[in-house]
Amino acid sequence: MKSTADSKFRRRLKIPNELGLHARAAASIARLAEEAQSTVLIEKDGQRVDVTNILDVMALYCPYGTELTVEITDPADLDVLNKICRLIENGFGEL
């Protein structure tokens, strides 16, 4: 599913893969976020977590079909935001 821009630095997405946002997927997001100069956050149902904390990301519990928002705080990290969104949209390589 395509992401939609809520603003320049936020993207709303749905988890497209059957296994959802599991440990390996969370680790892949964290690796990409290490490239960012600013904090990268994921929000689900009003709860926001730093994506570099894999356990916090997994605690959000994001199974197939979950809607979430990925956010950056620095426009210099727009490329990182786009990479993370592509990773999610492609089902973490599981589709």
What is the domain count for the chain? 1
Q: List the CATH number of the domain containing 57.
A: 3.30.1340.10
pTM: 0.88
- Grouping H, G, I as helix, E, B as strand and the rest as coil, residue 26 is helix
What is the Cα–Cα distance from 21 to 29, expressed in whole angstroms? 10
Look up the domain containing 37 and give its range: 4-93
- The tens digit of pLDDT for each residue in 24-73 reads 999 999 999 999 999 999 999 999 999 999 999 999 999 999 999 999 98
At residue 7 the predicted structure's pLDDT band, cuts being 50, 70 and 90, is low
Q: How far is CA 54 from CA 8, 18, 26, 76, in A?
A: 25, 19, 6, 23
